[in-house]
Structure formats: structure tokens, C-alpha cells
Structure 1
Amino acid sequence: MNARLDDFPIPDLANPATFVTGVPHEAFDRIRAMPGLYWQPAAQGTLTGGFWAVTRHADIVAIERDPEAFTSSKGFFFPGALENVAEVPSLRANIMLTDPPTQTRLRKAAARSFGPRVVAQFDEWIRAIVVEVLDDVVAKGEFDWVADVAAIIPSRVVARVIGVPFEERQLIVDWTNNIFHASTIPDGFKSVLEAAAASFSYMDALRPRKLRDPKDDMGTILAQCVERGEISEDECRLYLSLLLVAGFETTHTAIAQSMRMIVESPEIRQAVTDAVASGGLNLLVEEFLRYITPAMNMARTATRDLEFRGQHIRKGDMMQLYFTAANRDPSLFSEPHRFVPARPKNEHITFGSGAHHCIGNALARLEIRILFEELHKRNITLKLNGTPKRGWSTFINQLFELPVAVVR
């Protein structure tokens, strides 16, 4: 007998412990089937004592396309609500805490460097990074896929994009891990700012270095934008720090969780092998992104009392946009809980939508595609060699450890 949706209780979505064993997709299915929206109380981290869980694909797209009604300026993740971002000078210029037209101006400063045509030219040097990392781990025989592959490839790629010197690449991994750990603390960004202080100082020092010795990298482009008066020094610092974190974490989690799926499921392993061999790699990457959804959610805040999908929303209410639920919305995806490498129509919103659609999405896709190309080309097969360890977050679908061994 099939289980009914009513058989799955809705856990506390504000508690990171809910996500330790996995994403609660059964609960999201139940919420999605409800009329209106689901209210989740939260003792801390919001302005009105909780948030609305938004799980339908169409609802999330509608909210992200209406910044006048649903602003980013009060916080873009839970727990991280701000009554007034202007009261926190070090956050005031963060593009993630702005709405158009300010957000549009900041995005334009760097967008030309992340278009698909530009990113396609990165193939050669990204491939060199991937090959070096794979050669190192194959030589070891036994290793932690998360620490030795999933963390290393995107950290080296984002370091190259920003213009961080080779010998300073490890800083990106350390800063990012610290910042995402701090993001779970419901203290209005205080812990996040403390964790990010080192990266802020680094980016301030990097800007004059880039002006003295310009290179073909994002650090140089943004430093020159400051010189021309297109963005401020604060905006440059925060943009580079955001690129550092966002450019690392999404790809890091996608690489980590995709390999966990492969080593834990012979069916998925074979499906992946077949997809790569038959030229279906682009569709495979999209399905990994949909199925994993590295950043599980983002948040917006209602700017006024309003009605949305028949639900009364108060001014200041947080709207928790669950991308991970929308990416399994049966109204858009057939067999949404099944991994389908050749899924022909894959309108996932893993990278968001609207004004804040992830600017680095083409780069993330390229890194993942090259990794699987090189794994296939080198006939590298891995097996589980211990117990995987998930993260502790309501925000990121984290995997901390994945011990594996090379199959000889």
C-alpha cells in the first residue's frame, strides 16, 4: 500500500537538525499539496516570529519577479532577518541585500565576465585544474571526495576567476566553511560578519594590487569599476567576497552530493556512465543540479500587508523560498523524486530566478561537466569506503565527508 501524504508529519523546518539525515521531501510534498502556504514558527531569525514555507515552483518564480512586494533588503536567507540593512554599514552594499535598480547596477558591473560565451573560454584552464586534482587522488587510492575533490576544484577555479594568487587558494575554502557555519546562527548576520571579516580585509588589499598589476580576472574588472566610479569600494569588497563564497559552495555541494549518489546506487552509477558515453552530459548535469539543489532555499520579506495565493501575508513576514521543493514539483516534473539523467524538459530553479538569478551558473555547469568528462575519459571508478557525513544546515544541502576508494 502506498503511503499517504498525511502519514508524513511536518518537522520543524527552522531547526537544522531536521536536515541532518536528508532533505525532508515527504514533508515538502505534503506542504505543496496544501491550499495556500504553510507557516513555520521560529523563535529567532525572522521579524515576525516565523516564515511562510513556499514550495511550489510557480509561487517562487512569482515572488522572485516581484521585488516591490517581496524585498531582498531584509535578509536573503534564514536565519538572517534585518529590520534595517542601513543600520549595518558593512552589509549595506551587499548585492544580495538589494533590489533593482541598485541590484541591477551592481550586477551589470560584472555580468559581462560571466556570460556563457565568456565562460566557455575557461574550458582549457578549468580542465587542467580538474586533471591535476584527479591525478592526485587516484595516486592516493583512498581519500575523502569532499575534502580532496569537491572542495579543491571550485576553490581553485574561483580563485583564478577572482585573481587570487595560487599560493593563497586555500584561504577560500577556509573562509567559505567558516561563513556557512556562521550562517546557521540566528543573530542577524553578526556571526556571518565576524566570519567574513578576514575575507573583507583580503578583498580591500586585493583591489590596489589589481590596479597596479591588472590581469584578465574579476578582481581587476571590479577594481577598475571602482576607479571609474561605477561602484563603490564597499560594493567592490562585498561583491568579491560574495563571488568567493557563492562561486565555491554551490559547485562544491553539487560535486560532493553527485558522487555520493553514484557510489551509493549501482543504478545511478550505470545511468551516469551511459549518459556520459552517449553524449548526454549536459542533460545529466542539469538533472544533478535539480535533484541535489545545493542552496535549498532563499528568503524574501513582504514589504506590506498583502494577499498571495489566497494567504494573508503581513508586512515583515519572511517568505522562505524552497528551491529544493520547487525542483520536485509534480506540476512541472514527471516522477520528480526519480533521478532521470536524460530528463528532456528540466526547468529547475537551482540557481534562482528573476533579478537574483545566479550570475555564475554557467561557470558551475562547466566545472561539473568537465569533471564528469574527465572521470569518464580516465575510466575512474570509485566505491564507498566509509560512512558519509551530512552537514547541519537549513540553508545548504551540505555533505561534509565522503570516504571513497579507487576501484583498481
Structure 2
Amino acid sequence: MTEITGDAERIVAALAAGGGQLDPYPLYAELHELGQASALTSGKLPYAAAAYGYRAVDQIMRDATFEVHDALRLEPMSPTWREHPVLVTLMNSMMFSNGDRHGRMRALFRKVFTPRRVQEMEPDVIAIAAELLDRIELLGAGGAEVDYMAEFAYLLPARVVGRLLGLPDDDISWFRAQVDVINDWLDFRRKGPEVLAAADQAAADITTYYLDLIAQRRAKPEGDLISDLTRAVADGTHQVTDLELVGNLLVLFNASFSTTIHLFGNALPLLLGSSDGRAQLLKDPAAYVEEVLRYDTPAHVFIRLASRDTEFLGVPLKEGQLVAVLTGAANRDPRRFAEPDRFDPDRPDNQPISFGAGAHYCLGAALARTEAQLALPMVVERFPQLALGSEPVRTDQFILRGYKSLPVTVSSLVTAGGSADASG
């Protein structure tokens, strides 16, 4: 590929090429020296512009001129898109809808996925977390390493959202695997035919699963979210098809699960790497979680599309051109956050933009925050000797930044003579 010479283009290309998942923050700092947003004019990237300042990111997400990619936009670019179940499923969701269609679907989910329902999930969060911590204590006996990601960060949000939706616990591991495959395809660096084929199969299987479950709940409602959704549709107030329900259930599972995994994972090294991390967390869990979301947010990139010829903060855009919206960079904007590279749970007016803003604000944000605020204190209180173990492994995605594995120890090593070695 021909070398990209513009400063903003060079930096965004480095992020897209793989520099992002290891440490994007020095690259973000370079972007902030360029202002709030930059045109990307070489044609070597799929984006015509990048927004990375806090003000720019907040503004573009609230501006109806900038839309998400929906079926109408996809049609001329890829006339055969309906041959791919993953595209069909996603285009049936509010995540990939605009205007009235987006509002119609979101109104249904907002009616049943309320703050009260999130609050009602708190006992489930606590019970599931306690059960997982019991297992970690057994696995970590005698100083054995435990993969915190596999045994806690993945399982807790998966089981919580499963309980919310009414999915049997035995199905959660299968479901999580399908969502991981789809997330792999959604990452903008991984769109090859094999990744697409795997995502198509996962979406087809999830669609069959959800259609069966919707039919079951319609015939015999229970106390879960899917039952409430089918009731709300049946009373005629909300005109949403079963395939739209499927698409949005997939997105809700994703929004309530994928981001939360990495919120738990990214928080732990920060907790254990500071002498007063535990005390700060226990003093104010909500403030601590907000600073994790700002300092090392799970979600780093959103994509927006210009719905007409326009200009954004001095950057000209033609209809249909894409903008890379770098939320990870916005959360480190020195114009918005003093000393942005310092982790400070006592930071005043801390409002990270990790879950987006405007009409497409993440539907699962409140549940993610609730889980982290309740469960992270349980982790450190249960294991006073909790420590990082061998080298962690980062994910190879950039849109969702986090850890694939994060080994920890939860108890002291035990010597051959049976005495405890506190160095563990």
C-alpha cells in the first residue's frame, strides 16, 4: 500500500493496522495535538474523517446529520447483502437503523428494559458473583493461577444478561461463543471471507434459537424480558416484527455482555497496580467505575455516516462518507479532562463518553455500570491477597479493547512443608 503521509491519516492508519489494541494512547495524544477532528483525504482509508476530541465526538453522536449504516445505505454498496444472515440480523436492529425505524424499535425496548428492571437485577448480580467467587477460591487454592477473564469477567455479564432475557444457564456458553464470532467480524480490521462465513453461521443459529424462544414465551409468558417484549408487541402499541426482535435481542446481549467483560478486565490491573486502588474502589464504587470507563474504556470506535453534504468542525464531508468516531481518544482529551493520562477516581465532573451519546446511546450502559459497581468490590473484599499472575494476553480487536486472558492468584503459595509463603 502506498505510504500515507498526512499526520491524522498516519495515526489512524496505525490504529487500524493493529497498533491500537496494545497501546493506542500515545497515538491518541498525537491526534489531540491536531485539534478536535481531521479530514482523511488520501483515499487509502475507508473513512473521510476522524473525530477524536471530546467535543467533536459528543457533537457528532448527537447530530442527526450523521447516521449509522442501515439497510438503505448498504443496498447500493452491497446488493447481495441479504445473502448474509449476519447482515440481515444486524440490519434488523436499532444499532443499524435510523430515524423513525430506529425510534420505533428503541421505544419498545425502553418500555420494558427500564431503570427499575436494572435495579431488580441487583440480587441476581450479587448471587451470580458470589457463586463465581466461590469457584475461583477453589481453583486458586494453594496459590494456583486462575484466569480472571474466563472464570469471572466473561461469566458474570453473560449469566446476568442471560437471566435478564430468560436464557437457560446451560445455553450461555454456546451463546457467548456465537456473539464472540460476530464481534470478530464487526471489528473493522477483520472482514475476510472466513470471518464473514463464521459470523453468518452464528447469526443464522442465533436467529433460529431466538425465534423458537419468542414463540415459547408468546405461548407461555414468564418473568423475563423476552416475555415482556412479546406482550408489548401483542397489545398493538409497538409494531415490531419477530425478526426485528431477534436483531435487537442480539444487540442487547452484545451491549450488556461484550463491553462489560472488558470493563471488568480493564479494571483489575488498575486496581492491583495501585497501593490505594482497593480503598478507592470501596470508598466510591460508582466513581471508580466511571474512571475505569474513561481511562481504559472497552469501546474505542464507533462509525458514523454523513446523510448529506455537510461540514463538521471545518471538515467538509460528502453524502455517504464515513467518519471514524474515536471514543477512546475522546476520553483522554486534555481539553476535557485535566491530566487525562492519570487515573483519578476523584476526578470532578467525570463524564466519559464510553457508551456513546444521543439517539444511539448504549441500551446496556446502566446494566454494565450496575454489574461493575456491585461485583468489583466483592472481588477485592473476598480476596485480600488478590494479585496479578503470569503475563496477560490482550485481545486482537481494537473496537473492543481488553484482555483475552488475565491470570491472577487469590491466595498465598503453600510450601512443601505446609507453611504459607506470603510473597504469593
Please state which band the TM-score falls in when normalised by the shorter chain.
0.7 to 0.9
Contact 1:382 1:405 (8 Å CA) reproduced: yes
Contact 2:39 2:49 (8 Å CA) reproduced: yes
The whole-number CA distance in structure 1 between the counterparts of 2:77 and 2:91 is 9
Distance change >3 Å, CA 83–CA 350, structure 1 → 2: farther
The secondary structure found in structure 2 opposite 1:394 is coil
User: Which amino acid in structure 2 is aligned with residue 312 of structure 1?
Assistant: P
- The answer to whether the aligner puts 1:294 opposite 2:295 as a matched pair is no
Partner of residue 254, structure 1: 263
Partner of residue 183, structure 2: 180
How many residues align? The count is: 386
The whole-number CA distance in structure 2 between the counterparts of 1:83 and 1:290 is 37
Q: Deviations over 1:340-367 (max 9, x none)?
A: 0222211111111000111121111111
The whole-number CA distance in structure 1 between the counterparts of 2:91 and 2:22 is 36
Distance change >3 Å, CA 39–CA 381, structure 1 → 2: farther
Partner of residue 154, structure 1: 157
Partner of residue 126, structure 2: 127
TM-score when normalising by structure 2: 0.84
Distance change >3 Å, CA 381–CA 39, structure 1 → 2: farther
- The answer to whether the aligner puts 1:71 opposite 2:67 as a matched pair is yes
User: Which amino acid in structure 1 is aligned with residue 307 of structure 2?
Assistant: T
The secondary structure found in structure 2 opposite 1:216 is coil
The whole-number CA distance in structure 1 between the counterparts of 2:410 and 2:381 is 15
Contact 2:395 2:401 (8 Å CA) reproduced: yes
Deviation at 1:16, TM superposition (A): 4.5
Contact 1:391 1:397 (8 Å CA) reproduced: yes
Q: Deviations over 1:280-314 (max 9, x none)?
A: 11101111111121111111111222211111112
Partner of residue 18, structure 1: 19
Q: Deviations over 1:126-164 (max 9, x none)?
A: 100000001101111121111111100001001011110
The whole-number CA distance in structure 2 between the counterparts of 1:240 and 1:226 is 14
- The answer to whether the aligner puts 1:224 opposite 2:223 as a matched pair is no
Distance change >3 Å, CA 29–CA 128, structure 1 → 2: same
The whole-number CA distance in structure 1 between the counterparts of 2:42 and 2:252 is 32
The secondary structure found in structure 2 opposite 1:164 is coil
The whole-number CA distance in structure 2 between the counterparts of 1:65 and 1:353 is 6
Residue in structure 2 matching 1:212, options 207, 219, 227: 219
Deviation at 1:41, TM superposition (A): 6.0
- The answer to whether the aligner puts 1:203 opposite 2:207 as a matched pair is no
Residue in structure 2 matching 1:193, options 183, 186, 200: 200
Residue in structure 2 matching 1:53, options 50, 53, 56: 50
Contact 2:264 2:376 (8 Å CA) reproduced: no
Contact 1:302 1:316 (8 Å CA) reproduced: yes
Deviation at 1:200, TM superposition (A): 1.6
Identity among equivalent positions (%) equals 27
Q: Which runs of 5+ in 2 are unaligned?
A: 1-6, 83-87, 413-424
Distance change >3 Å, CA 150–CA 354, structure 1 → 2: same
The secondary structure found in structure 2 opposite 1:307 is strand
Deviation at 1:205, TM superposition (A): 1.1
The whole-number CA distance in structure 2 between the counterparts of 1:256 and 1:294 is 9
TM-score when normalising by structure 1: 0.87
Residue in structure 2 matching 1:306, options 303, 310, 313: 310
User: Which amino acid in structure 1 is aligned with residue 400 of structure 2?
Assistant: I
**Which structure has the bigger radius of gyration?**
2
Distance change >3 Å, CA 277–CA 222, structure 1 → 2: closer
- The answer to whether the aligner puts 1:333 opposite 2:337 as a matched pair is yes
Distance change >3 Å, CA 83–CA 111, structure 1 → 2: same
Partner of residue 351, structure 2: 347
The whole-number CA distance in structure 2 between the counterparts of 1:276 and 1:88 is 46
Structure with the largest fraction of helix: 2
Distance change >3 Å, CA 197–CA 94, structure 1 → 2: same
Partner of residue 3, structure 1: none
Deviation at 1:120, TM superposition (A): 1.5
Stretch moving more, 308-317 or 181-190 = 181-190
Deviation at 1:374, TM superposition (A): 1.2
Aligned CA-pair RMSD: 2.5
The secondary structure found in structure 2 opposite 1:312 is strand
Distance change >3 Å, CA 183–CA 42, structure 1 → 2: farther
Partner of residue 3, structure 2: none
Contact 1:297 1:323 (8 Å CA) reproduced: yes
User: Which amino acid in structure 1 is aligned with residue 296 of structure 2?
Assistant: I
Q: Which runs of 5+ in 1 are unaligned?
A: 1-5
Contact 1:159 1:172 (8 Å CA) reproduced: no
Residue in structure 1 matching 2:253, options 241, 244, 250: 244
Runs of 4+ in 1 over 6 A off after TM superposition: none
The whole-number CA distance in structure 2 between the counterparts of 1:21 and 1:128 is 34
